């Protein structure tokens, strides 16, 4: 999670007033990628029903950072209001992620794919919203969110269908941490590295 935190702080503390459109686009891409990986990393935790509590702050930080890149400074309440424009989809999807964990292995991959795709869609829609001066209708945001989410989720699931390697590698990392062979920081760094290629 250190790359995630470093990127969030760099963007939120940065000044993009004089940035070119290309520099802004690059910063947004980096934020979406880093936050999607962070959400997938959170989804690896084994306990159903706490995913929403862990993924929501990642998504809030993502929207705040994208707003900052486009010259808006938002508090968490404003971000939650913007996220609510996506509809009940966020709450529903987070509950489905939790429920998916109850299905052995296949549910686990689905949960990670959903967390990644959900956060990716939040980032893409937030970018569209702020790039267009916040003048986008709620209906347009919802349609775009569903389209991006379903496309990214299908992409991730197809890429890892029947793949037990990722789960095995994550389990090995967890076992090494529990055995004291690696530190918590090393565990988190290696987990992020694995999920970055997810």
| 45 and 177 Cβ atoms separated by less than 8 Å | no
Domain count, the chain: 1
pLDDT tens digits for the chain (198 residues)? 567 778 777 887 888 888 999 999 999 999 999 999 888 888 777 666 677 778 888 888 999 999 999 999 888 788 877 888 776 566 676 677 766 666 655 566 777 888 889 899 999 999 999 999 888 888 888 899 889 988 998 887 777 665 557 667 777 777 777 878 788 888 777 777 766 665
CA distance 20 to 23: 5
Question: Which letter, b or e, does each residue of 60-74 get, where b requires 16 or more Cβ atoms within 10 Å of its Cβ?
Answer: bbbbbbbbbbbebeb
Domain limits for position 54: 2-196
How wide is the angle at C-alpha 137 spanned by C-alphas 134 and 142, nearest 5°? 110
């Amino acid at each position: 999670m250190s790359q995630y935190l470093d990127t969030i702080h760099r963007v939120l503390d940065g000044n993009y007033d004089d940035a070119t459109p290309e520099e802004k686009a690059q910063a947004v891409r980096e934020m979406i990628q880093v936050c999607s990986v962070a959400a997938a990393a959170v989804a690896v935790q084994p306990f159903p029903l706490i995913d929403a509590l862990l993924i929501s702050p990642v998504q809030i930080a993502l929207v705040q950072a994208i707003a900052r890149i486009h010259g808006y400074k938002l508090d968490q309440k404003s971000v939650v209001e913007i996220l609510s424009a996506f509809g009940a989809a966020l709450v529903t999807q987070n509950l489905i992620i939790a429920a998916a964990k109850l299905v052995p292995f296949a549910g686990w991959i689905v949960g990670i794919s959903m967390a990644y795709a959900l956060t990716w869609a939040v980032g893409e829609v937030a970018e569209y919203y702020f790039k267009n001066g916040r003048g986008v209708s709620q209906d347009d945001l919802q349609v775009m969110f569903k389209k991006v989410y379903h496309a990214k989720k299908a992409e991730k699931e197809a890429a890892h269908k029947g793949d037990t390697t990722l789960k095995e590698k994550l389990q090995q990392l967890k076992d090494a941490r529990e055995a004291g062979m690696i530190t918590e920081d090393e565990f988190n760094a290696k987990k992020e590295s694995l999920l970055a290629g997810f």
